[in-house]
Amino acid sequence: MVTDFGRSKEWAEAHFFVVRMPMGFRSAETESQVRAIAERVAASAGLELVDAEWKGGLKRGVLQIYIDKPAGVTHADCETVSRQLSAILDVEDFFPYSYNLEVSSPGLDRKLSKPADFERFAGRKARFRLRNPFEGSRQLTARITGHEDGRVALETKNGSNAALALEDIEQARLVVEI
């Protein structure tokens, strides 16, 4: 009880709840469906879907689509995928709130996740974040020498050969070499 110039005031104790909107897609099923649609749209334009990510909360989030092709991605490629994918997602009503769709190339330091990525970029240097330590560290920079039987073959900085199971790689990105 607090008094204010002779009058008493009773205060209720306030309870505050902070609700965080989940990051990522609403569900694994939605993510799978969106990826499948994006893969079909990209393939119909002669492109590869590299990744699909949801950034932000459910309201006003951003769906980022990364596409690629051996000759490189053009603005026209991004526009084509954006128009077709946007139309399909809006008709299917995957997202109950407004969202922004961004379609772009994966960039020079693109993510590597599929076996085909490691085969395509053999000879290139990559930075790895591992689930378990390799030679005492979860971080590793090495040259990719190939992929076989679910293992990525590498040449480490000291020139030795190593192999990592795909499931042991948390994230891999190309290193920009100039």
Residue 119 and residue 86 share a domain: no
Single residue among 104, 124, 158 that ends a domain in this structure: 104
Res. 4 pLDDT band, cuts 50 70 90: low
pLDDT recorded at residue 32: 87
Global pTM value: 0.74
Asked, for residue 83, whether it belongs to a domain, the answer is yes
Q: What is the pLDDT of residues 71-114, one digit of tens each?
A: 999 999 999 999 999 999 988 887 778 889 999 999 999 999 89
Pairwise CA distance, residues 43 & 67, whole Å: 10
Residue 96 and residue 47 share a domain: yes
Asked, for residue 67, whether it belongs to a domain, the answer is yes
Output the domain CATH number for residue 41. 3.30.300.70
- Show the beta-strand stretches assigned E in 59-109: 61-68, 99-104
Query: What total of structural domains would you count in the chain?
Result: 2
Residue 95 and residue 122 share a domain: no
Residue 97 and residue 35 share a domain: yes
Residue 74 and residue 33 share a domain: yes
Nearest to 52 by CA among 41, 44, 60: 41
Single residue among 44, 76, 104 that ends a domain in this structure: 104
Asked, for residue 64, whether it belongs to a domain, the answer is yes
Q: 97 near 59, Cβ under 8 Å?
A: yes
Domain range for 52 is 28-104
Q: What is the pLDDT of residues 8-41, one digit of tens each?
A: 555 544 444 333 334 445 567 778 889 999 999 9
Residue 98 and residue 32 share a domain: yes
pLDDT recorded at residue 9: 54
pLDDT recorded at residue 122: 95
Asked, for residue 5, whether it belongs to a domain, the answer is no
Average pLDDT, the chain: 85
Asked, for residue 10, whether it belongs to a domain, the answer is no
Q: Give all strands of the β-sheet with 161-165 in edge-to-edge order.
A: 161-165, 151-155, 137-148, 125-134, 169-174
Q: What is the pLDDT of residues 42-57, one digit of tens each?
A: 999 999 999 998 888 7
Is the pLDDT at 177 greater than 60? The verdict is yes
pLDDT recorded at residue 22: 40
Single residue among 76, 104, 132 that ends a domain in this structure: 104
